[in-house]
Structures are given as C-alpha cells and as structure tokens.
Chain A
Amino acid sequence: GAVVSQHPSWVICKSGTSVKIECRSLDFQATTMFWYRQFPKQSLMLMATSNEGSKATYEQGVEKDKFLINHASLTLSTLTVTSAHPEDSSFYICSASGAALWGDTQYFGPGTRLTVL
C-alpha cells in the first residue's frame, strides 16, 4: 500500500504563466500532505504542510501568494505556481501521511520537474 501519484511528471512553461501540480494518495486517506522543492544536488526543502479542509502552513521564506496550495479532499492536494519565473524551475515533490496504520510515515510521490523558460 501507500501509493502517492503526481501529475504531471514534467512540465515546461513560459515565464509569467501558472502551473498546477496534483498530488493524490491512491490507496489511503491522507490527512496531511507536504510539498517539497529540490534543486539539483541539494536536499529536500519543505515548502508547506497542508491538512485536509484547512489552510496550508508555509515554511519561512516561501511566498504564499506565489505557491497556492489546496487540500480539498483526503486524497488530493494541489500546488499552483503562479506567475512562474525561471528561478522557479525545480523538482517539486509531494508526500502524504496520516493513514492510521502508518502513523507519521511520509510516502512520496514521484515528483514533478518544472522548467520555466
């Protein structure tokens, strides 16, 4: 069990456009989902934590208005990168946790590689 999917797996967009990334828990209900960003050869950087039905909690330095997070159901969270710029190009990874059986274990999606031209 504990399968998390992300869509799309990669996306190329023009500067100034918005991009939406979906994260789904396929075989469990995720009360909490996390969004990370990872630049080449660097570690994971937590961007925000989202709980179903409530506003996301953003980490210090992450712009709330630029990275919009919606966690509308126990199986779906979305990250929208608004007015994307080349510096937003990165590997975005979501994770999900909350299944009673697995406690605080986080299971990661396969990631979305964003390239902004």
Chain B
Amino acid sequence: QKEVEQNSGPLSVPEGAIASLNCTYSDRGSQSFFWYRQYSGKSPELIMSIYSNGDKEDGRFTAQLNKASQYVSLLIRDSQPSDSATYLCAVNTGGGNKLTFGTGTQLKVEL
C-alpha cells in the first residue's frame, strides 16, 4: 500500500521561529508533491507544489524534496499565530491526478 506519513503533532513553536514539518512516502516512483494548509472547520488550501529534488521557496515557505530518502519537508520562517493550522502532505503515487494524503501535522504558533 502506498503510504504518506506525517507526525500528527501538535508541533509548538514560538512566534518568529522556524517551523519544520516533515513527510515521508513509500512509493519511490512518486513524482509530484504538495503541501496544503487546513484551518479548523475549513477545507485545505494549497501552499506549494514541488517536483524536483532540492528547495523551492515562496515567501516565508520553503519546500524541500529528497527523492533518494523519500521525504519532503516544509519550512515556515518567521512563524505567525495565523500559521496555526494542520498541514497536509500529499503525494501523487499512482499517476493520473489522484493524491495520497498524510494524516496531517498540527502546528501551533505561540505568542
């Protein structure tokens, strides 16, 4: 079974710190990777996609992909209380457009 795993948390960081969220996946053939943010009671919203090994930066967010080690991470710099949410890692494991989601990591940014 193709799996995507995340630590459920909660991960607590102080305001202004860097939050590091990690995700591992089992299907070595995966090509597309996504991070979504989900606030309580809301639907997921796309933060970033990444397809190639290395880092991809977008504002305060940096996605990192290492296909050899089968992990993808999300760094949030200068964390704000508004970043408090559940972060979902998603991987395209089977081709087509179907994604496999991790169970999510809850992030709490404390004042």
Which A residues contact B (CB, under 8 angstroms)? 2, 31-32, 34, 43-44, 46, 49, 91, 93, 97-98, 103-111
From B15-23, B37-45, B59-67, B69-77, give the one contacting chain A. Answer: B37-45
Report yes or no: B43 in contact with A46, Cβ–Cβ below 8 A.
no
**Please, how many angstroms separate the alpha-carbon atoms of A111 and B34 in the complex?**
20
Give the chain A neighbours of B49 by CB distance below 8 A. 105
Give the chain A neighbours of B36 by CB distance below 8 A. 108
Give the chain A neighbours of B82 by CB distance below 8 A. none
Q: Count the B residues whose beta carbon is within 8 Å of the partner chain — how many?
A: 21
Across the A-B interface, the 5 shortest Cβ-Cβ residue pairs: A111-B43, A104-B97, A43-B103, A97-B97, A108-B43
Give the chain B neighbours of A2 by CB distance below 8 A. 46
Contacts A103-B32, A104-B32, A105-B49; A46 near B98 (Cβ below 8 A): yes
Give the chain B neighbours of A49 by CB distance below 8 A. 96-98
| 24 A–B pairs (Cβ distance < 8 Å), ordered by A | A2-B46, A32-B96, A32-B97, A34-B97, A43-B88, A43-B103, A44-B88, A49-B96, A49-B98, A91-B41, A93-B43, A93-B44, A97-B97, A104-B99, A105-B32, A105-B34, A105-B46, A106-B90, A106-B97, A107-B46, A108-B36, A108-B44, A109-B43, A111-B43
Contacts A104-B32, A110-B43; A43 near B101 (Cβ below 8 A): yes
Give the chain A neighbours of B104 by CB distance below 8 A. 43
Closest CB in chain A relative to B44 CB, distance in Å: 5
A110 is contacted by which of B42, B90, B101 (Cβ under 8 Å)? Answer: B42
**Please, how many angstroms separate the alpha-carbon atoms of A98 and B104 in the complex?**
24
Closest CB in chain B relative to A111 CB, distance in Å: 4
Report yes or no: A106 in contact with B102, Cβ–Cβ below 8 A.
no
Looking across the interface, which residue of chain A has its beta carbon closest to that of B45? A108
Closest CB in chain A relative to B37 CB, distance in Å: 11
Give the chain B neighbours of A111 by CB distance below 8 A. 42-43
Give the chain B neighbours of A104 by CB distance below 8 A. 32, 92, 96-97, 99
Within 8 A of A (CB), among B83-105: 88, 90, 92, 96-99, 101-104
